[in-house]
Structure 1
Amino acid sequence: MRVRSGGHDFEGVSYVSIIESPFIVLDLTNLRSISVNINDNSAWVQVGATLGELYHRIAEKSKVHGFPAGICPIVGVGGHITGGGYGILLRKYGLAADNVIDAHIVDVNGRVLDRAAMGEDLFWAIRGVTKTLDTKLLHRWQQVADKLDENLLTRVLMQVTNTSKADFVREPIPEFTLEELRKRISEEDDPLIVWTAYGGMMNRIPEYETLFPHRKGTMYKFHYFTNWPKGDKNVAKHMSWIRSLYN
């Protein structure tokens, strides 16, 4: 069985299977109710709602409130939070999962459980898990990005995608390795690499607080993609490139 809230997965794991046998997709996209309570700074959001819908509902109630989650408006809230939910406010407020204070789930017996009823163990478990690049500048960025003021998030884009991989970096990548990386991305037709600085609140939340472990000591997230147009005859080549880069 596959569970889908928004279907926004780079490799389609919410609606495909590598096992050659029948399976079902539990589609939650119609569960998209959102109730915002500005008075106590909270909101109840069903898993099928998208981030864009959540942000819109918050904006209807307040011009100064927000929620620390991703920048893509079509991502489903359920999958986003259960994966941790990182976004551009993570250095100030942590991940989306860090800001979940209660949840409702349905267990195998059909019971609806809130945080108190499901227990802290289960509540913990459902909250995540360019070609002209100046490598000298990037080498320096690695050393300061996670130490900047927490009100500032910086990203480096190494240039939409069909597959992606990610790493969490704890030590600066040597400059000669960055030079090699620049050569490698020039081999692919449409690559994109996103460097997202951590630090700030991410350093202050213990790694055991949620299922998402990449906390103190993580300098930045290294997220790389490749894209190809529909009908491309070289899919195997693109997949081989990103897998070899990841390895």
Structure 2
Amino acid sequence: MQILRSSILFLSFSFLVFFSSASSSAPENFLQCLLRHSPPSYPIAPAIFTPNNASYSSVLETYIRNLRFNTSTTPKPFLILTALHESHVKVAILCARIHNLQMKIRSGGHDYEGVSYVSDVVPFFVLDMFNLREITVDAKTETAWVQTGATLGEVYYRVAEKNKSYGFPAGVCPTVGVGGHFGGGGYGNMMRKHGLSVDQIIDAKIIDVNGKLLDRKAMGEDLFWAIIGGGGSSFGVVVAYKIRMVRVPERVTVFRVQRTLEQNELTEIVDEWQQVAHVIDNDLFIRVTFDVVNGTDKEKKTLRATFIALFLGDSGRLLFVINNSFPKLGLKKSDCIEMSWLQSVLFWTNFPLGTSVEALLSRTPQVLTHLKRKSDYVKAPIPKEGLDKIWKKMIELEKPMMTFNPYGGRMAEIPSNATPFPHRAGNLWKIQYATNWDEEGKREAKHFIDLTRKLYKFMTPFVSKNPRTAFLNYRDLDIGVNHNGKNSYYEGRVYGIKYFEGNFERLVKIKTKVDPHNFFRNEQSIPRFPHV
């Protein structure tokens, strides 16, 4: 999307009108600070948007991916800085520190709880990274530098553009921003073969609290470790990651098959899935999503399971693997579709077959809706009677969906402390709870969020315990919120242990060292130790 920018003269007039009625001088002083420190070679004024600027709403709303946070009552930033150069990030940090203002950092806007662009602490401003989206691929070294404002779709396209034998293990939604995705770990349908996104990151560039631009060597191994899975925005502003590309075959195979409870064998099929999905051939990833649909009798609801797979090989070998390890699925050759790896990204995103791969360059999501997400990890197969109870509960609640993402393979081989992301060996699969709705209003939102929470509560006997763990990229404020006051460490520990388990204390130690005054903070950031 092309963002229309005003002239500096009009922009200055907008600032005057806006700040003349401001209740506090902090925003006005902050603005003047930005302009005063504007780099001569890269003027900062065209990157600044305030509510009196005609493009402000467009800039803010373009990267809001959860309509729950796009209402008239949603707290809005007093200013958005759409950094055009790394120097603008440095100036933003400098001026925000001087004037003690909270800075939210947004790359793609897919944070499920809107943490990257919403705050109850006002005034606040948003540092939006979407203009910093350069991708430089080096085919000889099989690496690429990716700025954090790029989207996953852009990464996939540019990587394959250099060589169709290259791919990268990351998420299946192409409009997700690199910054948040990599910062939280990042996973996708090649994780059983190649691990997480962060397992293929070999360098990074971060601007720290002092405004210094640091690469891996300059920042040191501790800080580098922290920003590849520990949430980069807790430690600084990550402006780029250097990734190691992975090899993919010329042809891969995908399938999407559905089974319903009315077919009587659904429990048996899912039971076999949970026995084999984490130990099957590492080239195969089979996700299963459960939702409630109309039955044959339109008056009754039934449960539907959708099995969607990526196999890094041809259909003949896939059928051999499935028939030997997962025969109850009843996969047929006609279910299998061979295509390039890049085309498989479109398939997984539910684009129609034949869609041009240029669609991956679009930064506009196919669908925007109100949503709530939660997560869990499963360490032992769920008994068949447990599965039957789950189907019954889902039909009762009707709206929430569940997705099982299998682990094993490379995920079970990497130590839990290799990166801050700890959920490795011992987990059979990860659950995402998902509820989408189109109805407007707080009452409607509460209703659908409550349904999601009820399903999550019902699943308690079947998931991890002490702690009940969660995935940072599936942001969920239900599991704890930090008010960043005197109890910050203790509040942070509540959700921190669930997200990071034994890696939490190391993250706190690093945070305390590199950001001792807790400048980089949000509702679920890494806290400092309390004695600082």
TM-score scaled by structure 2?
Answer: 0.45
The amino acid of 1:3's aligned partner reads: I
Q: Tell me the equivalent position of 1:111.
A: 212
Q: 1:140 aligns with which of 272, 282, 285?
A: 272
Q: Which amino acid aligns with 1:227?
A: N
Q: Which has the higher contact order (CA 8 A, sep 6+)?
A: 1
Determine if the alignment matches structure 1 residue 64 to structure 2 residue 196.
no
Does structure 1 residue 154 correspond to structure 2 residue 364? no
Q: Within 2, Cα distance between the matches of 1:188 and 1:214?
A: 29
Offset from partner CA, 1:10-31 (integer Å, 9 cap, x none): 22222123x3532222211111
Q: Percent identity, aligned pairs only?
A: 52
Q: CA deviation at 1:229?
A: 0.7
Gap regions ≥5 residues in structure 1 = none
Specify the alignment match of 2:434 in structure 1: 225
User: Which residue of the partner structure matches residue 453 of structure 2?
Assistant: 243
Query: Is the contact made by 1:131 and 1:182 (CA closer than 8 Å) also made in structure 2?
Result: no
Q: In 1, Cα distance between the equivalents of 2:424 and 2:194?
A: 13
Q: Residue type matched to 2:115 in 1?
A: V
Over 3 Å counting, the alpha-carbon distance change for 1:225 and 1:131 in structure 2 is farther
Give the alignment of 1:45-64 within 5 angstroms: 45-64=146-165
Q: Is the 8 A contact 1:4 1:26 kept in 2?
A: yes
List runs of 5+ in structure 2 lacking aligned partners.
1-102, 231-257, 292-368, 458-532
CA distance in 2, matches of 1:61, 1:169: 39
SS at match of 2:373: strand
- 1:109 is paired with a residue whose SS is coil
**Residue equivalent to 2:383:** 174
Is the partner of 2:270 in helix, strand or coil?
helix
Secondary structure of the 1:117 match is helix
Letter of the 1:217 partner, please give it.
G
Query: Per-residue CA shift, 1:156-196, capped at 9, x if unaligned?
Result: 11026611111111111222222222122223454321111
Normalised to the residue count of structure 1, the TM-score between the two structures is: 0.94
Match of 1:212 in 2: 421
SS at structure 2 position matched to 1:95 = coil
Q: Does 1:84 align with 2:212?
A: no
Distance 1:13 1:245 in 2: 24
Distance in structure 1 (CA, Å) of the matches to 2:193 and 2:450: 37
Indicate if the aligned counterparts of 1:161 and 1:225 stay in contact, CA closer than 8 A.
no
Write the distance in 2 (CA, Å) between the matches of 1:100 and 1:125.
12
> How far does the alpha carbon of each residue in 1:92-127 deviate from its partner, in whole angstroms, 9 at most, with x for none?
000001100000001111111111111111111111
Report Cα offsets for 1:37-66 as digits up to 9, x if no partner.
Answer: 111000000000000011111121111101
Native 8 Å contact 2:149 2:177 kept in 1:
yes
Equivalent in the alignment of 2:400: 191
Which is higher, the Rg of structure 1 or of structure 2?
2
CA–CA distance in structure 1, aligned partners of residues 134 and 219 of structure 2? 22
Q: Partner amino acid for 1:194?
A: T
Give the alignment's Cα RMSD to 1 decimal: 1.8
Verify the 8 A CA contact 1:131 1:186 in the aligned structure 2: no
Q: Distance in 1 between matches of 2:259 and 2:111?
A: 26
For 1:12 and 1:204, locate their aligned partners in 2 and report how far apart those are by CA, in whole Å: 33
Deviation at 1:9, TM superposition (A): 2.1
| Structure with the higher fraction of residues in helix conformation | 2
